[in-house]
């Protein structure tokens, strides 16, 4: 069997700031960092539980555009956590905004949507309380 792995890459204006945000707000662990000739990160990989995602700077010449460049995010990142309310509170305390409040949903989950400070939308979901 061939090994495959999908690594979402969030394009952000400042990978250092985004990496610090995701570490603090989500508890993500930084596991890889590549630097460009200017010493700034070109990619930072994070592990969150059994999943990984990356952040990279916006580079319009390559077609790498941030949500601000596009007028919004075309992708939803979904994270399943033990404490959706606590995760949402940490995210908003660190500069995110609530797009859809976290509450019990009729489909049996407690979830909501948070827009992080870089314009990316996150569905925060977990067990209802």
∠ Cα 103 121 90 (to 5°): 60
67-89 per-position pLDDT tens digit: 999 999 989 999 999 999 999 99
Asked if 97 and 116 touch (Cβ cutoff 8 Å), the reply is no
Residue 25: pLDDT over 80: yes
Global confidence as pTM:
0.92
Residue 1: pLDDT over 80: no
5-24 per-position pLDDT tens digit: 899 999 999 999 999 999 99
Domains and CATH numbers, the chain: 9-126 (3.10.180.10)
For the chain, what percent of residues have pLDDT higher than 90?
A: 93
């Amino acid at each position: 069997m061939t090994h495959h792995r999908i690594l979402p890459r969030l394009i952000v204006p400042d990978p250092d700031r985004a990496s610090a945000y995701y570490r603090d707000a989500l508890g993500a662990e930084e596991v890889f960092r590549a630097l460009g000739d200017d010493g700034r990160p070109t990619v930072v990989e994070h592990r969150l539980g059994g999943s990984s995602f990356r952040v990279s700077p916006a580079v319009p010449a390559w077609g790498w555009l941030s949500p601000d460049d596009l007028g919004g995010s075309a992708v939803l990142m979904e994270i399943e956590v033990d404490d959706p309310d606590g995760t949402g509170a940490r995210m908003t305390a660190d500069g995110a905004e609530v797009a859809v409040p976290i509450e019990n949903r009729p489909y049996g989950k407690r979830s909501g949507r948070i827009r992080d400070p870089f314009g990316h939308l996150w569905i925060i979901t977990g067990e209802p309380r």
